[in-house]
Amino acid sequence: MLAHLENETTLVAEARAGDANAFAALMGQYESHVYRLALNITQNPQDAEDALQDAFLKAYTHLGEFRGDSLFSTWLVRIATNEALTKIRQRPPEWRVSSAEPGGAEKETSRPREIKDNDDNPEERYGKRELLEILSEAIESLDVSLRMVFVLRDIQSFSTEDTARLLGLSEAAVKTRLMRARLKLRQRLNGWFKRSPSWSQR
């Protein structure tokens, strides 16, 4: 779950008054979180980086419009979510098709690269890495509308209410899409494990 700055309100007020250091502090706190969010949505590191930069730029230029009705971080996540979705919409049709295929050129860069657990033996580390890659592929296979709900609820740990507000949906729609996303992921993962001799024997 996203850790909020205790002095977030003060930093936002100072940033709105033109204090660049205050906005830099906000960026430093939420940069990695926003990047992970964008990466989970776009499944492409370059698009995620672009979405991150665009989100912070838009937040800075529209800071005067932030009324404080919600946390700054929630407002920022909504901007980043929209920017990530924009990156997907801007992709040419042939890119979307090629990147969705199992051998897509961008797939490898979107998967987790490192397993940080020094207590695992090599076989366990390989097993975890393989499982993370399978999960990454399964999430990437989801329709964007389902993926965004799944990422915000199950990966970023936002509440149903916050997810609905971020995506401009009703809570009922969020629950329905989340259920569909979980079912599709379960079906895809079950199918993969049944086909994989290495996992069926574990």
Domain boundaries, the chain: 1-107, 111-202
Residue 128's pLDDT is: 57
| Measured CA distances, 196 to 17, 61, 130, 157 (Å) | 58, 50, 12, 30
Report the interhelical angle of 20-42 vs 72-89 (nearest 10°): 50
Find out whether 99 and 44 touch, Cβ atoms under 8 Å.
yes
Residue 59: pLDDT band with limits 50, 70, 90: very high
May I ask the CATH architecture of the domain 1-107? Orthogonal Bundle (1.10)
Residue 157's pLDDT is: 81
Mean predicted confidence (pLDDT) in 159-177: 90
Find out whether 142 and 35 touch, Cβ atoms under 8 Å.
no
Domain 111-202 coded CATH 1.10.10.10: yes
